[in-house]
Amino acid sequence: MKMKRIFNQILKPYKTIIKELEGNYTNIKVTIGKTFCCFCRDVEDLEINVPLLEDKMGAKAFYNKMINKLQENGIDEIYSSEILSFLHELGHIYTYNKFNDFTYCKMATLITKVQNVDIIANNKKLTNWLYKCYFNLALERNADKWAINYIKKNPETVRRWEKSI
């Protein structure tokens, strides 16, 4: 029972963010998972996983990509990996397109396998190339755009949310 209470404390700020969002998606479930990820099964079944510990390789690649995109969009402020990751996952929900789902799932599976195979994961060139391919998928780019636009329009809100996480 104590562990459930700890998980609820970890998830509380994320659930608060969802309650504050404008739009149709206040029914998003937030759960503990292995990585930041989003499941858009349908509008009634939306879920975002928040990790306790994150894969360093993937988190670093994602964070560097987002910092570059923020700078490209004229945002010089530095945000934490956690808030950028969460906003990106929300972006998946707000921009989901089933048309790209199959390609996205194949690439996400490949990335997961690469992270779990030492001989490949230790090959930085190959790993970086795979992340570059993954980050250039339409679903990923759309989620990034949504997150960046949200930050541009609501910097004070995002900064407040970041402090709560």
DSSP notation for 65-103: HHHHHHHHTT------HHHHHHHHHHHHHHH--GGGHHH
Token reading at 46? 């939306």
CA dist 134 and 37 (Å) reads 14
CA dist 143 and 120 (Å) reads 27
CA dist 38 and 124 (Å) reads 26
- Residues 3-17: tens digit of each pLDDT: 788 888 999 999 999
- Residues 103-160: tens digit of each pLDDT: 666 666 766 666 666 655 577 787 788 888 888 888 889 999 999 999 999 999 999 9
